[in-house]
Structure 1
């Protein structure tokens, strides 16, 4: 058996493949940063070549077309979203602990993206009336996330954290609406306290659907806004 290190034993083709994968990953990171600030429509082979210091032909060799580049960025964004939001949350017990973790992880990511932008949201604006592979890829990723949230709501019903007549679709709509409002108010209007208001809205939504005593298992935001204290009786 050869005693040479594995790096030495690798064939030129294997090293070339590894280098190619590393280069593609670096291009994708740059493309994701570019798309977060400029939108998917701001992506082009030329713009990416300029940002990465590569030639247009070098970038083109990894993606082949602008459309393929956009789809790859959507998939990369979704993979990072899952790593930060979904996978940590599913380690929590089924029911409200998991549902609350999903929302809290989501809201933390949105808070970070206030200065850059959410590709799910900006992409929906760019491609809502433009059928094609890019729109399909974006919609597929968003719907996959919706299915995960809906399943978390269903499990919360099954473990009796939420009332049996809870409509998962309706609750999902309300929760998603809070995120959209947060993104709009925090990023576009620069409204102070938007993150806290989203947490308060989620707490009210959960309290509306929760079984008696179920919310004692989780930590929810106070049900009044810190920006607008509850008035004292008699005033």
Structure 2
């Protein structure tokens, strides 16, 4: 497999991620991506082994954007509730701030791949597991510093935070609910109050 120039590779990833954000995994084909980046289909095929290879690399690119736009800034906040709050504030609607024209590629892939098997599904599952683990860590910090009750069910809290994120995604993207951000934040604040010491 030929090694392509970094600029070409980055352009393919950026354009492909934009497509993935708007059309989902099923919309990212060799033909559509080649057209979007101005390459021949065979030229693109020379650099990627398969459609699944492209999808996996694009999902990795999405992960990198989440790390840069959501996780890293949140982790700069003090541990505990400030960090958890910063993470949720940045996570809700992160694709707009990252310059993508559609929704979260990982969130949409959770629904698109829920009944399928394979390496792409495994990669999405790993990303989802990492997000749950991060939420659990930050919630655990809030328990450790006394903000949340010592009997806080962290697994339940994480489940509710994930539900809040996915609910916001559907409400803001699919339903175009103008109050999606406000309602999500009201739900987050109510959830925090329920777990406060």
TM class by smaller structure: over 0.9
Residue aligning to 1:203: 189
TM-score w.r.t. the length of structure 2 is 0.93
Hey, what's the Cα distance between the residues in 2 that align with 1:205 and 1:114?
29
Task: Quote how far apart the aligned CAs of 1:181 are.
Answer: 1.4
Task: Quote how far apart the aligned CAs of 1:111 are.
Answer: 5.7
Residue aligning to 1:194: 180
Task: Quote how far apart the aligned CAs of 1:114 are.
Answer: 9.3
Distance 1:114 1:30, change over 3 A: closer
- Out of 33, 39, 43, the residue aligned to residue 28 of structure 2 is 43
Question: Structure 1: which 5+ residue stretches go unaligned?
Answer: 1-15, 212-235
TM-score w.r.t. the length of structure 1 is 0.78
Question: Structure 2: which 5+ residue stretches go unaligned?
Answer: none
Structure 2 residue 161 is matched with structure 1 residue 175: yes
- For residues 31-64 of structure 1, give each alpha carbon's deviation from its aligned partner in whole angstroms, at most 9, with x where no partner exists: 1011111101111111111111111122112212
Hey, what's the Cα distance between the residues in 2 that align with 1:34 and 1:89?
27
Given that 2:74 and 2:86 are in contact with CA atoms closer than 8 Å, whether structure 1 keeps it comes out as: yes
- Out of 80, 91, 112, the residue aligned to residue 76 of structure 2 is 91
Equivalent residues in 2 for 1:130-145 (5 A)? 130-145=116-131
| Bigger RCO of structures 1 and 2 (CA < 8 A, at least 6 apart) | 2
Hey, what's the Cα distance between the residues in 2 that align with 1:190 and 1:55?
36
Bigger radius of gyration: 1
Residue aligning to 2:50: 65
Hey, what's the Cα distance between the residues in 2 that align with 1:21 and 1:115?
23
Residue aligning to 1:225: none
Hey, what's the Cα distance between the residues in 1 that align with 2:188 and 2:95?
15
Query: Does 96-105 or 112-121 show the bigger shift?
Result: 112-121
Hey, what's the Cα distance between the residues in 2 that align with 1:54 and 1:28?
13
| Equivalent residues, number | 195
Structure 2 residue 160 is matched with structure 1 residue 162: no
Hey, what's the Cα distance between the residues in 2 that align with 1:117 and 1:195?
14
